[in-house]
Amino acid sequence: MMAEQQKAEEISLQWIKGQLDNFADLEDRQLTAPAGSVKLLYVKSITDPQIINRSIIAPFYEMNDPAAYKEYLAHYPGSEAVKDSKQVLDLMLGGYACVEVEQRFIFFDALKAETSSVSQTMTESITQGPSDALTENLAVNLNLIRRRYQSAELKMESMLIGNISRTKAAILYDDSRVNHQVLDELRERLSTLRVDILQAAGELEKYINSDKVRIFPKTIVTERPDRVVFNLAEGKIAVMLDTTGFAIVLPVIFNDFFVAMDDKIQLPFVGRFLKLLRILGVAMTLWLPALYVAFTSYNPEIVRVQIALLIAGSRATVPYPSFVEVLIMLVMMEFLTEASLRLPRAIGPTATTVGGLILGQAATAAGLVGNIMIILVSVVAISNFMIPLNMMSFSIRVLKYLFVIAAAAVGLVGVVVCLVGFTMYLCSQRSFGQPYFKMFALDRLGSSGTQKGGRS
Amino acid sequence: MRKLLLYIGVVLLCLTTGCEYKDIDRRIFVVAIGIDSGEAEDFKVSLKLAIPQGEVTKIDEKMQIITEESNSISEALRLMKSRVEKELDYVHCKSLIIGEGLAGRDIRHVLDWAVRRRDIQLILNFAVGRPEALDVLKVKPPSERIPSNSLIMAMSGQGTESPFIASVYSYQLMRDVYEQGKDPILPVIEAEGETQFRIDKIALLDKQKVQLVLNPEESRLFNLLTRPDLRTNFPARVDDSEFQYYTESSKSAYKIISSEPGAPVVRYKIKINGIVEENSTQELITHNLLEQISDAGEEALEQSVEALLEKIKKKRLDPFGWGLRYGTRHWNNETEAEEWAALFPVLKLEVAADVRIKYSGLIK
Amino acid sequence: MNQSRYVYWMFLMNSLLNILNFVPRELLDARFRGAQTSILVAAVLGTAFLSVFTILIAKFPGKSIQDILETALPKGLIIPLIIMFASLWCVAGLITILSFVDITMRFVSPDTGPGIVIISFLVLVCFCARMDSLSVLYGMEMLLAIILPLILYAIIKALVNPDFSWDSVLQIMTYSAHAPDLKSIAAATFSFSGYFNLAIFNRVLPKMKMKHSWVYAVNGLAVLLLTFYVPIGYFGTIGVEKHVYTWFSTADSIRIDTFLIERMLFIFYFAYLTLSLVSVTVHWHVGKELLTGLFPRKQAKNRSTGWQELAILGMFSGITLILMRLDQYQLNEFGVVFLYARWFGELLMIMLLCYCYAVAYRRRNP
C-alpha cells in the first residue's frame, strides 16, 4: 500500500494534463462535498457518461466520506492503481477516468465501446451452419470463441501492438495441441514488430510474415468464429485484434484455403465433392486462359479438329493475336469485379449484369472478341469465386496472368513449365516454419493407426 | 537489384512473345490429303482445306481443294503454299487417300513420307480412292457441317459402325508393311458423284501394292474374322424362307495346327450370337425353327468364309497374320520364316462356325 | 511409410523416365539378341544395387555421401570423387533436357525455336534446383501424384487397344532364349537407379528405412517389360526400330474417343514433360549440393552461397547449351556412354559406401 502511494506521488494531475494538452474532450472537474473534495479527470469521448455519473459522481455525494469513497473506488472491479507514468497515459487513453482522492490516484474503468453487435457473416457466406461473424470488439469475440471452445486448454495471451494505435491483440491457442515452436516464433515476431498504426487483421498478417516476395497468403484471415474454433482444435494459433472483425489463423497449409465451413456439415461424399469442385475451379481459372492462348497460337493440333475449326471460326474476325484478346477480356472482367465490389449494394448486381451481358454480347457482335473467349472468361470469373477464402482467391486471380504470359511466350510448353514452377514454389513455401504444401494425405496414412487410437 | 532483374526478365519475355507466333486464324487446316499418280509428273497431290466460318449457327461448310503435280510430295506441298494466303497446317490431317492407280504400283513411298513427317499424326486414316483420290476429296455430303468430317467419322469408325469399313491407321499400315508374316490392307473409298461416297471394299496388299480387292460381301466377312463384335446381319435359308439375323456379338479366333503329320491346318472358329431380324415368309418362328435357322446360318457362313480364305490364299496374301502367328508358336527363329513360306501353298483351311440365334425379335 | 516413401518416389521417377529416350531404343535394338534376358538380369541386379545402397546409407542417418566419405577417406581423394559424381548427375539432367527439347521440337512445337524452349526449361530447373532438399522432395511427390494417373491411363489405354498386335509381342518372346548382353543390362538398370539420389537426400531423411524391396523389383520389372513390349505391339517386330522416339510415337498412335483432346500424345507429352522437369530438378539439385559441399561451409545461407549455387547451375546450363549442337545420332551415342558411366558410378559408390561402413564398424567395435 505504501509503496504504491510513493510511486503515485511522482505523477501529478498537472503532469497528466500537460501530457494531454490540446485535448478538447478532456474533462477536468472538482467535486466538492461537505466532507472533502476529489478531482476527476477523463477523456469524454471514450468514456461512458453513465458510468461516470452512476459509479463515480453519485457515490461520492451519497457517501460523503472521502476515506470510504477511496476504499470503494480502489476495490471496484476494473479500477486500477498506477505503476508508472507511461501506464497512466495508456489508461487515460484507454477510457479510464482518473480520480484523485486523498492524494491518491485511482483509475476507474469507464470505457465506452461503440461496438456493432454480432452480425451476419459478409465475406464468407455458407449455406448452412452458424452465421455469426466476429465483431470489432475483442471481448465479444472472445465470448464468441469461448462459448464454442469450452476447454481449459484454450489459452489466451494479450499484448498491445502499434505505437500510436495501441491495438489490443490476443493470441489464442489450445495448449495441448499447439506446436510450441510455431507459438514461440509468433511471439518473437509480434514482440519485434514496430509499427505505428495497426488497424486490420490483414495488415498484421502482412507484418508478421517474413518473406519479401509473397504470392500466397500464409495465414488465414477469417471472420467466422467457427472457423477459428475449428482451426484451434487442429492445433493452430489464432490472433485476434480489437477494432477489427477478423481473426488471423496460423500456421496454415495450402489446402486450408479450400475448406469451407459447411464441408463439415455436408455428408462426407458431398463435402469431398465440393472440395474437389473448388480445386477444379482453381485449375480452371489458372489454366483456361493460358490454354486458350496456347491452343490458338501455338498448338492447335492438341484439340480435336472439330474444336480447332470452331475456335478458328470464332476468331475469324478478331484483328489481334489471341493473347491480346485474352488480356483485354480478362482485364475487362477484373474491372467488372472491382466495380461491383465498390458499388452500393443496391446497384452492384445491375453493374455486373449490364457489364457482363451487354459488353460480352456487343464485343462478340462487333467482332472484337471471339464467342469462345466470352464463355471462357465467364468460366474463369465464376470458378475464381469458388474459393472460400478471399485472400487466396485474390492470389489466384493475379497468378493466372503469369500463366497467360508463359503461354504467350512458348505455348503449351510454357504452361507446363509454369505449372511445375508453381507447384515447386508452393512446396518450397513455409508457413511459420511448417511446410505449406505437400502430400499431407500420405503423411497421415502412415500414422493414422496411432492417431485413431489416441482419439478414441 | 533483384526487382530490376525481374522487370528485365518480364520485359524480355514480353518482347520474345510473338516472334514464333502464328494464330489459329492465320493457319489453314489441311483435313485430307489425296495422292494420285500424276499425268506429267510422278505425283498429283491434292489437299482438302477446311475454311472455318464465323457464324456457327449457319450451316454452310466451306472447303477448298487445291491440286499440284510434282515429282516429290514435299515439292508439291511447297508449291501449293504459294497458292493460299494462310499457312498450311497439316496437324489436323486425318485422312490420306491414295489413288487407285498409285496404290496399284507402290504405296511405300507415300507411307514413308506420311510417317516421317513430324506434323502428320500416326492416327491418320489411310485409304485407297476410286477412281482417283481427288474425286474422293471432292465429295461433299449435304449432312456435313465441318469440312471432311464425314470422311473422318466414317473412316475412323467414330460415327457409322458399318461392317464393311475397315479403318487403317498409318501406324498399322507401317507395322504390317514391315512385319514378317503379315500383309497390310486398306479400305477402298469410291466417290459416287459430288455428294456421296461408298466405303465397302477392302484392298489387300502385298508388302508393296494392291493385289486383290474384296467385294462388299467378302469385306464384311473379312471384318468378321478380324474384329470382335461386328454389328451386321447374315442370311440363313431354311426351306423356302429367307431369314436375316443380326449379330449381337461375334467372336472369331484361329489356330494353326502343324503338329500333326501332313499339311498344317488353319482352323477358324467363329462364334456368333444373333437375333432374327427379317423373315421373308409369314411363318411363325418356333424354337425348333430357331435352331434350324442357326444351323442354316452356320453352314452358309462356313461356306462363304472358306471361299474367302481360299481366294486370299490363292493370291498368296496373308492379311490375317498367319505367318506371324506361326512364328509365335515356334522357337526356331532363324528358320521359321522359310518353313512357313514352304508350308503356305499346302495350307488347309477349316472353318467352324457356331451361330446361336437366341431371339426371334419382338414378334415370333 | 513416412520417410521411406520418398525413396520409392525417387525410384519410380527414374523408372518411369527411362521410357523417354535411350533405354527403349537400346533395348529394342537388341530385341532379337537377348534384350529380354537382359531385362530380367537388370531387374535382379538393379534391385540388389538399390537394396544394398539404401541399407548401407541408412546406416548413416542424416548424412550426405560427402559426410560419409569424409569419415573414411583422405580429403585429396574426396574432391575428385565428388566432382566425378557431380558431373554424373549433371549429365543425367542435361541428357533429359536435351532429349526433351528434341522431342518438343519434333512432336509439339515445330514452329517455336529450340532456343526459347531450352531457356524456359533451364530457367525453371535452375529456379527449382536451388530450393532446399525437403522442398524438392515435396514437389517431386506432388507432381508425381498429378502425373501418375495420366501415365497409368496412357498405359492402360495402350494395352486395351484392339489394334494392339499381341502376335508381334509373342513373336518377340520367342526370341528370348539369348544370353543377356552388357549394353542392354546397362540400359535396363537405369530404370532402377533413382535410389542414387539418396546420396544427398539421405541428409533430410534420417528415419528412412529399406523395406519391401520386392515391390521395387516387381515394379521395375513391370515398367521395363512395358517399355519393351508396348512399342512392339504398335509397330511390329521389325517396324519398331524405324522410330526414333519409340514411346512418343506409340503415344501418338493411341486415340482417345471421348475427350476434348483426341491424341494421347499430348497427355503423354504433358505427363512426361512434367516428369522430366522434376527429374532434372532432382538431379541438378543433387549435383549442386555435392559441389557446394566442396566449398568451406558457412553457418547460414548467405549471399556468397547463393552465388555459388547460381554459378554451379549456370555452369550446368552452359554445358547443356553447348551440347545442344549434337545431332540425333551423336546425342544417342552420348546417352549410351552415359548409361555405362552411370552404372559404373553406382558400382563405385556402393563399394565406397561398403568401405566407409566397414571403417565405421571397425571404429565402433575395435
Environment class of B293 (CB within 10 Å of its CB; exposed 0-12, middle 13-18, buried 19+): buried
Q: Residue B167 has what DSSP assignment? A: -
Cell numbers that stand for C229 in this block: 513390349
Query: Cβ distance B55 to A371 under 8 Å?
Result: no
Residues 6+ apart with CB under 8 A from B334: none
Half-sphere exposure in the Cβ direction for A172 (13 Å, CA): 28
How far apart (Å, rounded) are the C-alpha atoms in residues A391 and A93? 34
In chain B, helix, strand, coil percent, each to 5?
A: 35, 30, 35
- Look at residue A88 and give its three-state secondary structure: helix
Residue B33's nearest CA partner among B88, B105, B82 is: B88
- Indicate yes or no: CB of C255 within 8 angstroms of CB of B176: no
Angle CA(B161)–CA(B167)–CA(B171) in degrees, nearest 5? 145
Whether C277 has a pLDDT exceeding 90, the answer reads: yes
Q: What is the DSSP letter of A295?
A: I
Q: Give the mean pLDDT of C334-344.
A: 89
Interval C13-47: pLDDT, tens: 988 988 887 888 888 888 888 889 999 999 999 99
Question: For cell 489413288, what's the residue?
Answer: B99
Count of A–C CB contacts within 8 Å?
105
Q: For the domain covering C4-364, report its CATH number.
A: 1.20.1740.10
Percent of chain B at pLDDT above 70? Answer: 92
Instruction: Examine the pLDDT at C128 and tell me if it is beyond 70.
Output: yes
Mean pLDDT within B159-178: 86
Based on the number of CB atoms within 10 Å of its own CB, is A176 exposed (0-12), middle (13-18) or buried (19 or more)?
Answer: exposed
Count helices and strands in chain C by DSSP H and E runs: 15, 0
Interface with chain A: mutation pick from C132, C135, C262, C279, highest number of A CBs within 10 Å = C135
User: From the list A423, A446, A447, which residue is nearest C142 (CB)?
Assistant: A423
Packing angle, helices C75-103 and C114-129, rounded to 10: 140
| Residues of B in Cβ contact (< 8 Å) with C236 | 174-176, 178-179, 182
Residue A442 and residue C1: Cβ atoms within 8 Å?
yes
Burial (0-12, 13-18, 19+ Cβ within 10 Å), C363: exposed
If phi > 0 it is left, if psi is from -120 to 50 it is alpha, else beta; for residue A432 that is left
Does the beta-carbon distance from B180 to C253 stay under 8 Å? no
Chain A residues within an 8 Å CB radius of C278: 420
Of A312, A323, A367, the CB nearest to B52: A312
What are the distances in angstroms from CA C361 to CA A135, B158, C353, C366? 65, 68, 12, 8
pLDDT score, position C230: 92
Nearest to A302 among C2, C136, C261 (CB): C261
Which of B120, B328, B335 to substitute to test the interface with C, most C CBs within 10 Å? B328
pLDDT of residue C222: 92
The domain limits of chain C are 4-364
Is the Cα dihedral C62, C65, C66, C69 positive or negative?
positive
Distance of CA A94 to the CA centre of its chain: 24
- Best C112, C147, C263 member to test A by mutation, with max A CBs in 10 Å, is C112
Contact criterion met (CB below 8 Å) for C192 and C51: no
The residue whose grid cell reads 489459452 is: A155
Average of pLDDT values for B58-72?
A: 78
Cα separation, C274 vs A418, in Å, equals: 10
What ipTM was estimated for this complex?
0.89
DSSP three-state, residue B272: strand
Q: What digits encode the pLDDT tens for the residues B225-243?
A: 888 888 888 888 888 888 8
Distance from CA of A367 to the nearest CA of B (A): 9
Chain B contact present for C115, CB below 8 A = no
Which of the 8 DSSP states describes residue C104?
I
C309-320 burial, b at 16+ Cβ within 10 Å, e below that, comes to: beebbeebbeeb
Band the pLDDT of C284: cuts 50, 70, 90: very high
User: B44 Cβ partners below 8 Å, 6+ apart?
Assistant: B35, B36, B37, B38, B67, B68, B69, B76, B99, B134
Which chain A residues are closer than 8 Å to B52 by Cβ?
A: 309-310, 312-313, 316
Which residues 6+ apart lie within 8 Å of B363 measured at CB? none
| Lowest mean pLDDT across B331-335, C142-146, C191-195, C269-273 | B331-335
Task: Write the DSSP symbol of residue C2.
Answer: T
Distance, in angstroms, between A436 CA and closest chain C CA? 10
Of B292, B297, B242, B253, the closest CA to residue B274 belongs to: B297
Give contacts of C170 with chain B, Cβ < 8 Å.
328
Q: What's the per-residue H, E or C state across C47-91?
A: HHHHHHHHHHHHCCCCCCHHHHHHHHCCHHHHHHHHHHHHHHHHH
Which chains have 3+ CB pairs within 8 A of C?
Answer: A, B
pLDDT value of position A438: 79
Q: Is residue A394 within 8 Å of residue C98, measured between CB atoms?
A: no
Q: Contact C188/C224 with Cβ under 8 angstroms?
A: yes
Residue B116: how many other CB atoms lie within 10 Å: 9
Q: Which of B197, B196, B177, B178 is nearest to B188 (CA)?
A: B197
d(CA A216, CA A239): 19
- The closest of C366, C24, C16 to C184, measured between CA atoms, is C24
Grade residue B279 by pLDDT with cuts at 50, 70 and 90.
confident
For residues C26 and C184, give the distance between their C-alpha atoms in angstroms, rounded to a whole number. 6
Cis preceding-peptide flag for A251 (omega within 30 of 0): yes
pLDDT along chain A (456 residues), means of 10: 45 77 77 82 80 84 83 82 75 81 81 68 74 80 80 80 81 86 85 80 75 77 86 87 83 84 81 87 89 87 82 82 86 84 74 76 82 86 84 87 87 89 88 80 57 31
What is the tens place of the pLDDT at every residue in B87-132? 888 888 888 999 988 888 888 898 999 988 888 888 888 999 888 8
Cross-chain residue pair A439–C141, CB shorter than 8 Å:
yes
Distance in Å, alpha carbon of C221 to nearest chain A alpha carbon: 25
State whether C168 and B179 contact (CB < 8 Å). yes
Question: What's the average model confidence in pLDDT over B245-269?
Answer: 85
Pairing of strands B265-279, B241-257: antiparallel
Give the position of cell 537377348: C34
Burial C55-79 (b: 16+ CB within 10 A, else e): ebbbebeebbbbebbeebeeeeebe
What one-character-per-residue DSSP string does B199-226 give?
EEEEEEE-SSSEEEEE-HHHHHHHHHHH
Q: How far, in whole angstroms, is CA A455 from its chain's centroid?
A: 31
Q: Do B17 and A298 touch (CB under 8 A)?
A: no
Q: Quick one: DSSP state of residue A80?
A: B
Residue A231, C-alpha cell as written in the block = 482451426
Question: Can you give the pLDDT at residue A1?
Answer: 37
Q: What is the mean pLDDT of residues C168-190?
A: 88
How far apart are the C-alpha atoms of B155 and B166, rounded to whole Å? 8
Decide: residue B251, CB within 10 A, 0-12 exposed, 13-18 middle, 19+ buried.
middle
CB contact under 8 A, C252 and B119: no
Is residue C249 within 8 angstroms of chain B, CB to CB? yes
Q: Beta-strand (E) ranges in B280-346?
A: none
- Distance (Å, rounded) from C-alpha C24 to C-alpha C19? 6
> Would you state the cell numbers that stand for residue C366, as one nine-digit string?
575395435
Beta pairing, strands B185-192 & B125-130: parallel
Who's near B151: CB < 8 A, 6+ residues apart? B32, B94, B95, B136, B139, B189, B197
Q: Please state, in angstroms and rounded to a whole number, the distance separating the CA atoms of residues C114 and C264.
A: 23
**What is the rounded average pLDDT for all residues in chain C?**
87
Residue A232 and residue A173 in contact, taking contact as beta carbons nearer than 8 Å: yes
Pairing of strands B95-99, B27-37: parallel
The conformation of residue A116, written as its DSSP 8-state character, comes to P
Report d(CA C249, CA C236) in Å as an integer. 13
Q: Please report the pLDDT score of residue A359 as a whole number.
A: 80
Of A299, A417, A426, nearest to C108 by CB-CB distance is A299
Provide, as residue numbers in chain A, all residues whose Cβ is less than 8 Å from the Cβ of C124: 417, 420-421
- What are the chain B neighbours of C242 within 8 Å (beta carbons)? 115, 174, 178
Q: What are the residues whose beta carbons fall under 8 Å from the beta carbon of B286, sequence distance 6 or more? A: B364
**Stronger pLDDT, A154 or C134, i.e. the higher one:** C134
pLDDT at C274: 93
In residues, how long is chain A? Answer: 456
Q: Which of B179, B256, B318, B329 should we substitute to test contact with C (largest number of C Cβ atoms within 10 Å)?
A: B179
Which pLDDT belongs to residue C278? 92
